Amino acid sequence: MVVQIPLGYKTSLEDIAAVISSILEARNLIIICGAGVSVSAGIPDFRSSQGLFTTGALSKDLLDANVWNTTTKALSLCKILAIMHQECSQASPTPFHLALKMLDEKGGLLHVYTQNIDFLESKAGLSFGIPQMHSPQDMPRCIPLHGTLETLACIKCCYQSPLHLHVSTLVTGCLPLCPACEQIEHERRICHKRPRTSGTLTPTIVLYGQTHPAADHLAQAIMRDANGNSKKVKPDVLLVASTSLKIPGIIAAVHKFSQAVHSQEFRGGYRSIYLDQKPLSSKWDGIFDTWVSGDLQIFAQHLIRSLSHQFDQSIDDAICSKDSTTISILVQDLSSKASFSLKGKKHIFLNVDHPFYIPEI
């Protein structure tokens, strides 16, 4: 049976000490992030009571892989994605994202797999991208499972371009033509060769019914993390945060990682942790050891405090101006661009538009 641990602003650190301890003591921690991780950054999720699907702001059929074949739907999705990109670009990492970076600096964080397309993990300072199997030692810390809104890619030649360069085209409901294809066609015309159709640039997000262009790389990364890499490193703790667990690929990954962590020797605590406001069904018994029910940003605040103590730094350290090089943590009224350092660690620079607010608990 899954142990439930309620979480609220009155929850004391002692109430969730076993969960925090499991995360901090992990030598090879795997984290899977869902859409709820970014809600407090102003980016809505999809399936909650205020989600895009529930409110009607975005219909599920617009995220079908065939959308680009339907002019009306493609026009609507182009406009929506342009707006979403602007929202993501203006959004700041949340305390949970900050906790991810602190865990990375501490050591023991194996990989973060994110379902989000908002690239906030990258903004928080985690190395970010699709792993390349020919150089596994250089695997990025955070791996996007569903692509991101950072780039556009040609459906014909795979040329990529930053999305922000094409927002003005997308808001009109049009997909921009691929400049690489256009250049090839220009050269063909000069040589009096038969003309061919240029490709168009589409956002590098994975739609329903669409095969991920890097599916093989992702599958190999998940299998290697679950089964052990060349150094026989296997995950010993799994944290799944704010995901509805509706996507088949995510369900399969959670089962695989849960099996892996439960096969490892671990001195006490919880091996597999689910963090979300929505309850777990009984089908997840044996997969998760505990369900921390509540706002994950509150959990992140507890985790940050414990991390700061572990680094022998208090959350109440003096707050410095933006021109300073060191602060212990970002709090209300901090300047929009600042850095902080963990004792004995290199500086971490966060470029944010709005300060984090971490209230007293």
Annotated binding residues for Zn(2+), written as ranges, equal: 154, 157, 178, 191
Strand partners, 151: 162
First to last CA, the chain: 29
Closest CA to 36 of 259, 288, 329, 246: 246
Residues in the chain: 361
Is 212 a known active-site residue? no
In sequence order, which residues have a C-beta less than 8 Å from that of residue 66 and are 6 or more positions away? 209
| H or E element, residue 201 | strand 201-205
Per DSSP, 50 falls in state T
Establish how many alpha carbons lie within 13 A of residue 109's alpha carbon, considering only the half-sphere containing its beta carbon.
Answer: 22
Per-residue exposure over 226-254, b if at least 16 CB sit within 10 Å of its own CB, e if not: beeeeeeebbbbbbbbbbbbeeebbeebb
Rounded to 5°, the CA angle 64-66-72 comes to 95
Q: Are 114 and 121 in contact (CB under 8 A)?
A: yes
User: Which is the catalytic residue, given 85, 97, 111, 146?
Assistant: 146
Which of the residues are catalytic? Answer: 146
